[in-house]
Amino acid sequence: MKKYKAYAKVNIFLKITGKRGDYHEIISRFMRVSDLYDELSFTPKDFEDFEIVGNFSCTTSQNTIYKAYEALLEYTKSEALVHLMQKYAVDVKKNIPAFAGLGGGSSDAATYLKMCNEVLLLELTLDELAQIGLKVGADVPFFIYGYDSANVSGIGEIVEKFDEELLELDVYTPKIEISTPKVYGSYSKYFYDPIDAEDALILKNVKSKAYLKATASEDANDLFQPALREYPQLRDAQKDGYFFSGSGSSFFKVRED
């Protein structure tokens, strides 16, 4: 069976611009990590229950792939989709660490949606798939569009391609499982200081390599300090010159030539 790559991402920068109800609005540069990805495929099975084969700590109903299935079925009402998932399991070779700020769950969900769209000839546009994916998670639309680099804003639903070189990145993930809601809650309670529209516009136009050269790692990501507050062991895991991705716990830097 054909294998599909679900790439990781890092946040070159991540700044809060405000709140929308219970959600934080952001401006962030997402960049694909070209050599870190999960591999997804459909594999035949013997029973009709929805099945995900892979190394996951969550239940099937909690898995983003299953949530993507539910969202896709709600949108399409496709009997062919139901029959597909009665005959085939989703096999996932998991390489992206979970709870790591690398978007692994969101990337898996996006890749699953694109797999179904291709295999079942659903002819959904990327915009439609992104709309479906947003019901699964705020980062899913970025992975639907498949850009190397993009400015992501709103609560994640606005994805604008950014033309620049795809950087080669070194990524490492300490064994610290981080709760994204907990980190955002800490930011909102203790660190809330959104940037204004003018500063956000400046960020949207800066090249990632130049930004990383000019910015201290502590200043690039508004979630780093709240993550440190909730998980102080992160301080011991940080290395010089590495930047914090998403809500953590991963760090990254541009690979040396």
- Active site residues per annotation: 9, 139
DSSP code per residue over 210-253: HHHHHS-HHHHBTTHHHHHHH-TTHHHH--TT-EE-TTSS-EEE
C-alpha to C-alpha distance for 256 and 116, rounded to whole angstroms: 38
- Identify the CA nearest to 61 among candidates 75, 49, 48: 49
Angle, CA 135 vertex, CA 131 and CA 198 arms, to 5°: 70
Strands 88-93 and 243-244: unpaired
CA distances from 22 to 148, 155, 191, 195 (A): 29, 10, 16, 18
- The secondary structure element, H or E, covering residue 113 is helix 104-119
Number of Cβ within a 10 Å radius of residue 58: 12
